[in-house]
Amino acid sequence: MSQAAVPHAYEIKSASLPLVSFLLKNPDTSVLQADMARRLGATPDFFDNDPVVIDLSVLEDPHHALDLPSVCLMLRTYRMLPVAVRGANEYQLAQASQAGLFEARDLSIQPPAATRVETVVQEVIREVEVVREVPTGSGSAMVIDKPVRSGQHVYAKGRDLIVLAMVNPGAEIMADGHIHVYAPLRGKAIAGARGDEQARIFTSSLEAELISIAGTYRTSDTPLPPEVAGKPAQISLHGDKLVMQAL
């Protein structure tokens, strides 16, 4: 058999993969370790070896001797897999190279503009509390049958979220799939949290502080249209625009 006729053992293709951005605000690793333990210690399975970009662009003191390998170790402790770094100076890039991280130059944060739909930048680390989950048998959706109080966070990872009671102001519900709220939605609702643009939000009374699908969001700073405000509605994403329809 000629060399040309031998089938290739591999192919190289471009790929678009979702990455979690870990926005580091304090270079002190002892402070970081304490904060991660406080906020993630009760939910060690919140992440599932998700690939992470360490973002150093907002550090108050970029010349601080950051111990980047220690930061990577902390992330791995909480099942995050650091793969890249952005916003790093020359010293930090040298550390990143030693830690096996590449420089993600193309991951830039665009400034807000009134003429475009803004993309919400969520803090990845959040406290998560499941109020009361009702077994569904199929495991296809998380069902919550108690009100979600102010300050509570509920996350349906890898599935839809169904809430049978009120989502109060100051509460946050999030799902990788659809969100259904069979009661007033007065807090924050984030559907398609990992980039699913087909996800939707349904509620029997739309009064939300924030609605978001796949990163595109709208806050209560912009009043809801009268045809959906306080009424049954669904929200979907069309291009870069959230579309609200009365039900």
Tell me, yes or no, if the two domains 20-103 and 133-246 fold the same way. no
Label residue 161 by pLDDT band (50, 70, 90).
very high
Q: Does domain 133-246 have CATH number 2.160.20.70?
A: yes
The pLDDT, as a whole number, for residue 112 is 35
Task: Say if residue 124's pLDDT is above 50.
Answer: no
Question: How do residues 208-236 score in pLDDT, each as one tens digit?
Answer: 988 989 878 888 878 888 999 999 999 99
Structure confidence at residue 109 (pLDDT): 37
Q: Name beta bridge partners: 212.
A: 190, 217
More confident residue, 60 or 246: 246
More confident call, 23 vs 40: 23
pLDDT at 198: 92
Q: Residue 51 forms beta bridges with which residues?
A: 81
Question: To which CATH superfamily is domain 20-103 assigned?
Answer: ACT domain (3.30.70.260)
What's residue 100's pLDDT?
84
Q: What is the mean pLDDT of residues 36-54?
A: 75
Categorize the per-residue pLDDT at 191 as very low, low, confident or very high, splitting at 50, 70 and 90. Answer: very high
- Region of poorest pLDDT, from 26-30, 65-69, 138-142: 138-142
Q: Give residue 115's pLDDT.
A: 29
Q: Which residues contact 67 (CB under 8 A, 6 or more apart)?
A: 29, 95
Structural domain boundaries in the chain? 20-103, 133-246
Give residue 18's pLDDT: 61
SS3 string, the chain, reads CCHHHCCCCCCCCCCCCCCEEEECCCCCHHHHHHHHHHHHCCCCCCCCCEEEEEECCCCCCCCCCCCHHHHHHHHHHCCEEEEEEECCCHHHHHHHHHCCCEECCCCCCCCCCCCCCCECCCCCCCCCCCCCEECCCCCCEEEECCCECCCCEEEECCCEEEECCCECCCCEEEECCCEEEEEEECCEEEECCCCCCCCCEEEEEECCCEEEECCEEEECCCCCCCCCECCCEEEEEECCEEEEEEC
User: For residue 128, is pLDDT > 50?
Assistant: no
**pLDDT, averaged across the chain:** 78
